[in-house]
Structure 1
């Protein structure tokens, strides 16, 4: 049963490649990553890792909302949320990047990490994605939490800092 799900996830992801067979060969025998076109089956919202990891944690706490595919780039320190394609969407925020039609995303296979890329939530093969409204709410909550945790001032507190 588990291998059937991985096969479905591989087929679903590879469908976004210009050549799905070459994509699967690259995953199995090449560098382990493939460049896939965004904007057809999914878009990606890329955010700084602290924000993205906190937002993902918030989404895991809602039993009615299972997070969609989520990718982390440990070198670039970014988290990518896969969501439905929407050429008219406008995601605004510090360090927020919306990747849609005309863009390409480096993607590892859903069954293992590759170098700097790793699935935090691998695709399940059903085509399930992050609901934009739930993702926006989680990102807003995470932004608020990070703002509370951030230092108010870079200056040291106390008499020695004056």
Structure 2
């Protein structure tokens, strides 16, 4: 007795379906990059005293997540002083990251210092933050992040090393 051609293909179709079918999301966060785990601080930028505006970064990497504090300084008044506070203001961002070769992709949302989401409007930026950084590791405790949107690199030194302990999602 000859079997129809469709019945011969059935086992192969079943295997292919199981191989490429959807899988549930992981129940733990990813590990991220081990060399980035911890807190990184930028203390100054080149020619800082000559610049009209500049920003200094404090970045905390925890597994595949980050929390960024951007301290901005300006010698000119670009808006209401209630926001800029005599030329100094702080913005916060939380989100996730991943690295492919020498490029770090960070994506998050502007938030408040307590990690709560920042509402639309008000002072400064809100909503989605997304940036690509070319990363140059200059040792165990010094990393340079060159943002695609900025000419001034972020040279950050490690102030506290941590290890990733993935948390449930």
TM-score over 0.5 (shorter chain): no
- Structure with the higher helix share, 1 or 2: 1
Higher relative CO (Cα under 8 Å, sequence separation at least 6) belongs to 1
